[in-house]
Amino acid sequence: INFEGKKKMLKEDKCVNNKNCLENKHIIPYLSIILRSEYVYISRHLNTKYNFGRTQLYVLRKLSLTNKPLNQEFFSKHCQINKGSIARTCQKLEENDYIKRVVDPNNKRQYIIYLTKKGEEVATEIKILEKKWENKICEEYDGTKEELLNYLRKMTLTSFNMINDNRDNIYE
């Protein structure tokens, strides 16, 4: 296949131009598309001022949602992000004054992560964009938001349980 052929294949493969991707009979592709699209939406709005990567946005978002300091181990264990990626992300966020890392007095090998004032300002912008996104994508949903959230929570817990219960037998 020549260059033009590859370009045409890529263009046809995009969900916007391909009805088949929205006729999937599995849940995961839809969840993936929603999550990736939200990231693109937020990035487009924020990257005119900032240049955040996906993990940086995730750390800022999580810190703002929990409204309390978290340690790097939390992101590694509970958010399924590897330790090296979290360490690099936090270092970059700290260098740019979005977070502050303090050695955990209970475990000297861990850092507790706090949002700085600058980080809180960005987190507020993220929350506003997330709310706009959520309202828009849910405006045609017939059920209540609480029903949807409850079902998504159950799916999330089941997902975590599957990977935590079957660490050695993940392909069974």
> 48-89: per-residue pLDDT in tens?
888 888 889 889 988 988 878 888 888 887 777 888 899 899
Q: What percent of the chain has pLDDT over 90?
A: 31
Report the length, in residues, of the chain. Answer: 172
Residues 94-112: tens digit of each pLDDT: 999 999 999 989 888 888 9
CA distances, 65 to each of 9, 48, 159, 161 (Å)? 40, 23, 21, 23
pTM: 0.71
Task: Say how far apart CA 156 and CA 44 lie, in whole Å.
Answer: 27
Residue 4, pLDDT above cutoff 60: no
Q: What is the mean pLDDT of the chain?
A: 82
Cα–Cα distance for residue pair 100/111, rounded to 1 Å: 9
Predicted pLDDT at 21: 58
Strand order in the sheet with 107-115: 70-71, 107-115, 99-104
Joined tokens for residue 143:
């059920």
- Determine the Cα–Cα distance for residues 100 and 26; give it in Å rounded to an integer: 41
Q: What is the mean pLDDT of residues 119-132?
A: 93
pLDDT at 19 > cutoff 70 = no
165 or 126, higher pLDDT: 126
Q: pLDDT value at position 147? A: 92
Region 9-19: mean pLDDT is 50
Contact by Cβ (8 Å): 101, 94: yes
R_g over Cα of the chain: 19
**Contact of 111 with 86, CB cutoff 8 Å:** no
- Residue 133 is predicted with a pLDDT of 94
Report the pLDDT value the prediction gives residue 3, as an integer from 0 to 100. Answer: 44
pLDDT at 115: 94
Q: Six-digit token pair at 125?
A: 């912008």
Q: Write phi, then psi, for 140 (nearest 5 degrees).
A: -100, 5
